[in-house]
Structure 1
């Protein structure tokens, strides 16, 4: 079986008998393989300690250590008592570590923020370097995962910021919400502290280190990097909020933390049996940014928006948007002027231009002055009038809803200006030209626009193909990812839906530019 299949089966066995804790267990496993630590915030009695005990079984012959901190906890209770015999006989200050944190694969520290400064300082070294300084010896630790927990956040002004920063993922553990799961929990027998895990699924020491090292080779696309930049920029905008707004805590993400976040994304893709990071993996960033639960909604919005922006830039949608806008601006600046001075359009009955092809019931005319006043890419309301002195003729006149209240709505249409034409309901109808009319003499700027329209069409087709490819790849990955929850999956699907709508809108704008410029669909 591949990596994903193995991890999926392992997670299912670890979660057996745990209700609505699948995401917490999955994120804990992810942290373990990535070499990071996780903090669980939640009220007492929501299975935080049981999650840690289960995680021990992810490692073959794994050892665990757990401890409930208090203000009176001493380093000896965490790292082992001092060896009196060595102190007496060899004058060495060393801990007896058997059965304590330095010997454990999985560590659970409850109410961690109550730890004193001496414990905190040692923990920083443990988390940073995975080593323990025991007297004069520096001992490498077998530690795979450290889970900390509390029902409160670290208090400000007590020097806990450095320790708090070492927990890459911060996850809020809720009580059971689904009624059926709640019923199963309260009616089941005694709590099953340990799960039955197939030995072939758990990690040997060698396999763990192989996965940890191989995950660092996971590649990434330019779009993924653009997503990270977009999220960083959105965080800066969030921190630079209007001073008149309600005071809110700014977000600070250190360079070191960003590096660890990127490593976490690489590991998630690797465990999911991929060779490169997916946009869905960027959803994990929201677990790594918050300092207070009040920030969660804002952070979720920032991350989802950043992913959307990254995908748009990654497939070239932002480039297409800029091209379309520039063409529209240029056409508004000079093409309409050229149309106003085009004397090849035939004047009928001294005042009108004739619109060809619109009606089979007779001629359709428009006042020359009103045609010249039309603008490209901007619709104006007109209505049909049948002059008494002209047979089989209809005249299109500008409609003013404040004055012309009795006009039949069926006779009201919206038109815009084309090149020697009018655009009605998306279709271009040419104006009658003089017999000696010559093709428009395209100046350099016109030719440039023509080339750019062609490039826009090519860009759109390429972008559509890229979108279809990306959507197919990401849809499968989103559905099967082991580490993103249903809420994140819905947000990702919504982002793809919005992007498809935007692509369709730009295709319509390109068609409108074609109709306006060439006078054809």
Structure 2
């Protein structure tokens, strides 16, 4: 039986995997960590965003770090038959008068799955897909006894939100919802361009054994304590969101507790702390338009930096909107606005965000929101420098 030291080693390996993937995928730190937490919690996650944002590559990189596990992936369409997911009919057996499915290499035997374009699941495959995600079971085509599937976690992806009742049923079963967009920070985009012409570098590749991961999911994570102050905080958060007409189901709240435990386990703790509540920003919304409000409510409850950081984010967004509104005006007018207003405000915001980041890092608090706002500040500042002040784009990184 694996002891505490083995669980500690598993958490250490998963932290190393998180760091390695965050270093490879720019502006994805929070996404990577939350995906690892969702796997540890035995829950399913959705990556939603436009094409070309490395959703598939990120999912494959993470799932490929699990040694000894059965990995399965599929790209769904409205015409995908259930047998494509769960196993084709054995033609040789059928010729002998036997009805048999071949389950090898299909979802029925997968420990980790990646399902692309999840909301294009065909009507024919819908019920069985829901059964896989909900209960980890599959009802064979011949009507035999249900097959129990070893699925730990499914990472799913889509370029768009669900539109019909069938896809909405799947959406409801995906506990973690992560928005993935195009790169924002100019320096990260420059690094992306350079990577296209640079020789690939062999990077460190930490892995974790399937048995160790299963022990963490089934034993170590559920053993993490959830103290009463955390329960009180969750109750307070639920009441705050309900006042704003943001209502999540009791099932979703209950499943979220395992995410909190998984977050603490990943950090090497045996008790859930306030900072773990930040993961709920990816759980308690249905529409992306609701996410900022959920984020504000969650983070103001657990993070003293949150309100100021989000206020700065709003101010930065207003400056970007004003820059867009001034498009087409003379360079002189743009320059005057940039020098007298925008450049100063953005510089002050950047200085304050940097100081807040240092304080949060020293205190051991989550920096996910600060990191995101800092990236946006750099992006908007770069636009002001290039579009309003005519600074050479190659000099923007040095300016910032």
**TM-score (structure 1 length as normaliser):** 0.54
In 2, distance between residues paired with 1:144 and 1:10? 18
For residue 114 of structure 2, give the secondary structure of its aligned residue in structure 1: strand
Deviation by residue 1:332-388 (Cα, 9 ceiling, x = unmatched): xxxxxxxxxxxxxxxxxxxxxxxxxxxxxxxxxxxxxxxxxxxxxxxxxxxxxxxxx
Shift of residue 142, structure 1, vs aligned partner: 3.3
Paired residues of 1:38 and 1:167 also in contact (CA < 8 A): yes
1:485 matched to 2:365? The reply is no
Paired residues of 1:70 and 1:114 also in contact (CA < 8 A): yes
Unmatched tracts of structure 1, length 5 or more? 240-250, 310-471, 491-521
In 1, distance between residues paired with 2:227 and 2:153? 29
1:177 matched to 2:184? The reply is yes
1:167 matched to 2:50? The reply is no
* Correspondence list, 1:255-274, <5 A: 255-274=250-269
Residue in structure 2 matching 1:254, options 220, 245, 249:
249
For residue 234 of structure 2, give the secondary structure of its aligned residue in structure 1: helix
Residue in structure 1 matching 2:72, options 54, 65, 68:
65
Paired residues of 2:108 and 2:149 also in contact (CA < 8 A): yes
For residue 170 of structure 1, give the secondary structure of its aligned residue in structure 2: strand
Q: Which residue is equivalent to 1:104?
A: 110
For residue 24 of structure 2, give the secondary structure of its aligned residue in structure 1: coil
In 2, distance between residues paired with 1:489 and 1:274? 25
In 1, distance between residues paired with 2:104 and 2:39? 22
Query: Which of 9-18 and 273-282 deviates more?
Result: 9-18
Shift of residue 263, structure 1, vs aligned partner: 0.8
Deviation by residue 1:453-478 (Cα, 9 ceiling, x = unmatched): xxxxxxxxxxxxxxxxxxx9996441
Q: Which residue is equivalent to 1:282?
A: 277
Deviation by residue 1:160-195 (Cα, 9 ceiling, x = unmatched): 333111111100001111222212222224899998
Shift of residue 488, structure 1, vs aligned partner: 8.2
Residue in structure 2 matching 1:204, options 209, 232, 242:
209
Paired residues of 1:278 and 1:474 also in contact (CA < 8 A): no
Q: Which residue is equivalent to 1:36?
A: 43
Task: Provide closer, same or farther for how the CA distance between residues 282 and 195 of structure 1 changes in structure 2, counting only shifts above 3 A.
Answer: farther
Shift of residue 155, structure 1, vs aligned partner: 0.7
Q: Which has the higher contact order (CA 8 A, sep 6+)?
A: 2
Residue in structure 2 matching 1:76, options 83, 104, 119:
83
In 1, distance between residues paired with 2:362 and 2:216? 25
Paired residues of 2:49 and 2:181 also in contact (CA < 8 A): yes
Query: Which of 280-289 and 54-63 deviates more?
Result: 54-63
Shift of residue 90, structure 1, vs aligned partner: 4.8
Give the CA RMSD over aligned residues.
3.1
Residue in structure 1 matching 2:193, options 186, 189, 194:
186
For residue 70 of structure 1, give the secondary structure of its aligned residue in structure 2: coil
Deviation by residue 1:53-77 (Cα, 9 ceiling, x = unmatched): 1122221134432222222221122
Q: Which residue is equivalent to 2:150?
A: 142
Deviation by residue 1:265-294 (Cα, 9 ceiling, x = unmatched): 011101211111110111111110111111
Point out the structure with the larger strand share: 1
Residue in structure 2 matching 1:48, options 38, 47, 55:
55
Paired residues of 1:14 and 1:57 also in contact (CA < 8 A): no
1:151 matched to 2:159? The reply is yes
Q: Which residue is equivalent to 1:89?
A: 96
Paired residues of 1:171 and 1:287 also in contact (CA < 8 A): yes
Task: Provide closer, same or farther for how the CA distance between residues 254 and 29 of structure 1 changes in structure 2, counting only shifts above 3 A.
Answer: same
1:233 matched to 2:239? The reply is yes
Paired residues of 1:53 and 1:64 also in contact (CA < 8 A): no
Q: Which residue is equivalent to 2:324?
A: none
